[in-house]
Amino acid sequence: MTQLYPSKLYTLPLKGGEGQYKLLKFWFAGCAPCKKQIPFENKLVRKNKNLKLIHFCYSTDFKKWKEYIDANKSLGQHFYLDADTYEKYKAVFNLGYAPRYILLNKDNEIVCWECSNPNNKEIENQLLK
């Protein structure tokens, strides 16, 4: 689990996982639909070894964020966005709802800007392309 700072805004989350798809998830701890997707996310990651799940949590108390991750056994890499960093991500990724998923291909190019939730087979279909 890592707290992101503006100086690491775009580089840190994409380090590692070369040659893998990356599913970016933007969420906050009070989001019931976000929590509902965790079992589907975990299943997707276990089934697709070429997928790296990267979580970005915002609008959540730092301590509550850590407790939430531990309690919900969410797989993947987790990043905490402070308010300033979230505003930058919000502008770049046009964030307006949660959970929000963005799928990157093996070359870190966006292949799905507003992906459906992992309980839908659409993301798996994107991984097979």
pLDDT tens track for 19-34: 888 999 999 988 999 9
Domain count, the chain: 1
pTM of the model: 0.85
The domain spanning residue 77 has which CATH number?
3.40.30.10
Q: What is the pLDDT of residue 128?
A: 65
Band (pLDDT 50/70/90 cuts) for residue 10 is: very low
Range of the domain at 22: 2-128
Confidence tier at 15 by pLDDT (50, 70, 90): low
What is the spatial distance between Cα 46 and Cα 44, in angstroms, rounded to a whole number?
A: 6
